[in-house]
Amino acid sequence: MQYTQHSANLSFPLWQFLTQPISRSTHVILNPFRFWKHYNIQYLECCWNCDPVELFRTLLGKRVGVEKTGVIE
């Protein structure tokens, strides 16, 4: 399998790891490998729950803009 420029970005989310909220009500993950695994799972769940039609409408609205009617249908 060859990797291209459009491959998935598998770099470590360093900023998210360093800026975890530290409080008693949240669970802080101090192990970087465990954090990366948890981060990837959350990312995949977010992608899985994404509505592709709504995403397309949002992206189309940003690229084309609202032209005549002011509404994207």
Q: Name the pTM for this structure.
A: 0.53
Is 58 contained in some domain?
yes
Tell me, letter by letter, the H, E, C secondary structure of 13-73.
CHHHHHCCCCCCCCCCCCCHHHHHHHHHHHHHHHHHHCCHHHHHHHHHHHHHCCCCCCCCC
What gap in Å lies between CA 17 and CA 32, rounded to an integer?
8
The answer to whether residue 41 sits within a structural domain is yes
Q: What is the pLDDT of residue 46?
A: 84
Number of domains in the chain: 1
Look up residue 24 and give its two tokens: 């008693």
What is the domain range of residue 35? 30-62
Residue 16 is assigned to a structural domain of this protein: no
From the list 9, 7, 13, the residue with the least C-alpha distance to 39 is 13
pLDDT score recorded for residue 3? 45
* Structural domain includes residue 51: yes
Q: Which residue numbers in the chain have pLDDT < 50? A: 1, 3-6
